């Protein structure tokens, strides 16, 4: 701390004023003594002049110090967070007025910034309160400093009982040791299941803090499972009704023919025809169940190093209805299951040819290496994608006699290889682009 001066600023200012008047007083006294001589009149005049000078110095001192007290009050208000106080002597072209002007401007700026911070803090509080994700903050000692309502529900107690509790006491200390996101099976006081745990570090007041985000995956997975079952049952019901309706109708017809007495002359032909229909629909149901079994029991990929360019050309030659144009692609070696990837290519090429035949268009197959990712494009000149969001729903099809599992099986194969399958309309012409993106190495596929 700086050493305090012996005299205050006010006293030093008064002394400076008095020292500044000493030469004038001395000159005035000398002139009086010279003109009047050393008598009571000159002495009284000198004393009166000194007194007046002292009073004027004191008045000037107060006038010089008063604006400083005003500035002190303004700065104290700013320090205390009161930005509403303003100085009344703010004007340009004046030394003190310039200072007051700048302090007023600073107070206005700080007031606007505090309002902005308060609004953002209120907005953040609303967002945290509306989140269905538990968010907790821990200080550098590991004690709870923030918990949103979702965290209160997860831990089964209000924030008043969580504030100041340690992560160790709440059973959360283990989640603060790793910074990477992870999925765990855990039983919290407010619920159990699968949770995604994310831990991050941040600084507040110059000290490290911890942020813990806990997301309930079980609810989302259950909702996705419910929607998947709804879509699957809708398609299964449609397929079963298509087969059971003619079977029921033909069974009623055959039963009615057999019950007639005497039977009509051609009853054998009618009965045989009805039984053939029943057999055909039963075979269709058997094929349907076989396709379902194929989709549900896809084995994991048996990876090995394969020359993908040779595999792609072989898959294109298998299509006999239309010549598939092979775009020039590099010689690429990929760590894949050749049987599964070849089947995926065959499915995409077959779909592309089916679309191209309806419009007289062509089909092109190309591939490229993009930074360790194999990108395969199957481009057709067909009518484009149908207006439906069910292209990847099992057993959904827009083609007469289609099975509805080709695209689903292809996407499942690609995703088991750590890749992505996408369908989109062409930007340069009419038609569709089916794109597979596959990691070239098994390590990259594992990370994906």
pLDDT at 3: 54
> What are the residues whose beta carbons fall under 8 Å from the beta carbon of 173, sequence distance 6 or more?
142, 166, 167
Residue carrying structure tokens 């209000």: 158
- Span 148-161, mean pLDDT? 89
Mean pLDDT to the nearest integer, 232-257: 72
Model confidence over 289-348: pLDDT tens digits?
666 666 566 678 889 999 999 999 888 888 888 889 998 788 899 999 888 898 889 889
Strand 363-370 to strand 324-326: parallel, antiparallel, or no bridges (unpaired)?
A: parallel
- Percentage above 70 pLDDT, the chain: 80
Give CA separation, 226 vs 222, 232, 293, 396, in Å.
6, 10, 21, 18
Strand partners for 209: 202
Mode of pairing for the β-strands spanning 182-188 and 324-326: unpaired
Mind listing the pLDDT tens digit for each residue in 32-60?
A: 666 666 667 767 776 777 777 777 777 77
What is the pLDDT, as a whole number, of residue 402?
46
Tell me the residue length of the chain.
448
Contacts of 324 (CB under 8 A, 6+ apart): 316, 349, 353, 363, 364, 365
What is the token pair recorded at 332? 């690429």
Among 155, 148, 154, CA closest to 131: 148
Mean pLDDT of 232-261: 72
pLDDT average, residue stretch 410-432: 88
User: Looking at per-residue confidence, does 317 or 250 come out higher?
Assistant: 317
Its pTM stands at: 0.45
Instruction: Dump pLDDT digits (tens) for 274-290.
Output: 778 778 777 767 766 66
Task: Kindly tell me the number of DSSP H helices and DSSP E strands found in the chain.
Answer: 11, 12
| 3-state secondary structure (DSSP) of residue 132 | coil
Instruction: Give the residue-averaged pLDDT of 381-401.
Output: 61
* pLDDT value, residue 203: 87
| Nearest CA-CA partner of 202 in 169, 184, 176, 181 | 176
The span from the CA of 213 to the CA of 151, in Å, is 9
Q: CB under 8 Å to 277, separation ≥6 — which residues? A: 246, 247, 250
Position 367 scores a pLDDT of 93
What integer pLDDT is reported at residue 437 of this predicted model? 92
**How confident is the model at residue 50, as a pLDDT?**
75
Task: Please state, in angstroms and rounded to a whole number, the distance separating the CA atoms of residues 234 and 236.
Answer: 6
Rounded Cα–Cα distance for residues 162 and 294 (Å): 52
Among 49-63, 132-146, 184-198, the range with the most confident prediction by mean pLDDT is: 132-146
Better-scored residue on pLDDT, 74 or 224? 74
Alpha helices, H only, 260-377: 267-296, 308-317, 338-359
pLDDT for res 37: 65
211 or 445: which carries more pLDDT confidence? 211
- Looking at residue 443, its pLDDT comes to 45
């Amino acid at each position: 701390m700086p050493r305090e001066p012996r005299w205050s600023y006010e006293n030093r200012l008064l002394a400076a004023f008095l020292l500044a008047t000493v030469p004038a007083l001395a000159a005035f006294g000398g002139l009086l003594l010279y003109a009047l001589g050393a008598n009571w009149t000159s002495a009284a005049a000198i004393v009166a002049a000194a007194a007046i000078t002292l009073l004027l110095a004191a008045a000037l001192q107060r006038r010089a110090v008063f604006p400083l007290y005003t500035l002190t009050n303004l700065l104290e208000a700013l320090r205390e967070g009161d930005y509403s106080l303003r100085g009344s002597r703010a004007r340009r072209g004046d030394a003190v007025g310039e200072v007051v002007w700048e302090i007023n401007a600073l107070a206005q700026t700080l007031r606007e910034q505090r309002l902005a911070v308060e609004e953002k803090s209120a907005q953040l509080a609303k967002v945290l309160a509306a989140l269905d994700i538990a968010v907790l903050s821990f200080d550098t000692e590991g004690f709870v400093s923030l918990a949103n309502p979702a965290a209160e529900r997860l831990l089964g107690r209000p924030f008043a009982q969580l504030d100041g509790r340690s992560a160790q006491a709440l059973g959360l200390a283990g989640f603060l040791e790793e910074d990477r996101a992870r999925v765990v099976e855990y039983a919290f006081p407010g619920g159990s299941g699968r949770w995604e745990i994310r831990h991050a570090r941040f600084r507040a007041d110059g000290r490290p803090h911890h942020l813990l985000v806990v997301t309930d995956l079980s609810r989302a997975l259950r909702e996705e499972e419910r929607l998947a079952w709804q879509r699957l049952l809708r398609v299964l019901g449609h397929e079963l009704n298509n087969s059971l309706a003619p079977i029921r109708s033909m069974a009623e017809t055959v039963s009615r023919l057999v019950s007639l007495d005497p039977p009509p002359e051609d009853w054998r032909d009618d009965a045989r025809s009805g039984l053939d229909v029943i057999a055909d629909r039963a075979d269709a149901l058997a094929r349907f169940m076989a396709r379902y079994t194929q989709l549900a029991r896809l084995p994991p990929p048996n990876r090995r190093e394969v020359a993908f360019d040779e595999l792609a050309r072989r898959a294109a030659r298998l299509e006999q209805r239309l010549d598939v144009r092979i775009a020039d692609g590099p010689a690429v070696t990929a760590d894949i299951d050749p049987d599964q990837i070849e089947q995926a290519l065959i499915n995409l090429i077959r779909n592309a040819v089916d679309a191209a035949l309806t419009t007289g268009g062509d089909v092109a197959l190309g591939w490229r290496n993009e930074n360790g990712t194999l990108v395969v494009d199957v481009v057709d000149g067909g009518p484009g994608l149908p207006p439906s969001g069910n292209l990847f729903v099992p057993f959904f099809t827009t083609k007469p006699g289609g099975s509805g599992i080709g695209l689903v099986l292809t996407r499942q194969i690609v995703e088991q290889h750590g890749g992505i399958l996408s369908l989109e309309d062409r930007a340069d012409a009419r038609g569709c682009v089916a794109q597979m993106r596959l990691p070239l190495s098994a390590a990259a596929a594992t990370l994906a």
